[in-house]
Copies of this chain bind each other. A is one copy, B any other.
Amino acid sequence: MSSEIIHMVTVGQIIRAKRESLGLLLRHVASYLDIDQAILSKIERNERKPTKDNIIKLAEILNLDKEDLLVQFISERIAYEIADEECASKVLKVAEEKVKYLKSNLVKK
């Protein structure tokens, strides 16, 4: 058993890797997303956050699983949101209960 550093793969990294493996250019993909290539460049380097729409279109054009990518995206956002809280783990547990309640009652936002 060797000790290794586990890397957290970011959505940006996933996107860039897949885009390059498909031989697509920033401007091609950005055009599909209807945004400037500068933004996509920043998204891939975690300098800007994608919108949900960006994620959906990225999954389409890069042939990635849409739900997987969304899960990565949203969980990444939440993780950064609470990572500096002592009680982060407890927060997630309580959040799960609240989500169950909200879903079971179809409460409107």
Considering the complex, which residues of chain A in the window 59-109 have a beta carbon less than 8 Å from any beta carbon of chain B? 67, 70-72, 74-76, 78-92, 94-96, 98-99, 101-103, 107, 109
A1 interface residue (CB < 8 Å to B): no
Tell me if A71 and B99 are in contact (CB < 8 A): no
> How would you classify the secondary structure of chain A's contact residues: helix, strand, loop or mixed?
helix
Partner pick for A98 among B75, B91, B95, B96, CB 8 A cutoff: B75
How many chain copies does the complex carry?
2
A6 to B51, CA, bound (A): 34
Tell me if A67 and B86 are in contact (CB < 8 A): yes
Tell me if B94 and A71 are in contact (CB < 8 A): yes
Q: Given A70-B85, A74-B85, 5 other A-B contacts at CB below 8 A?
A: A79-B95, A79-B98, A79-B99, A83-B107, A83-B109
In the A-B complex, the 10 residue pairs with the smallest Cβ-Cβ separation, listed nearest first, are A79-B98, A75-B94, A75-B95, A83-B102, A8-B101, A78-B95, A75-B91, A74-B91, A79-B99, A88-B99
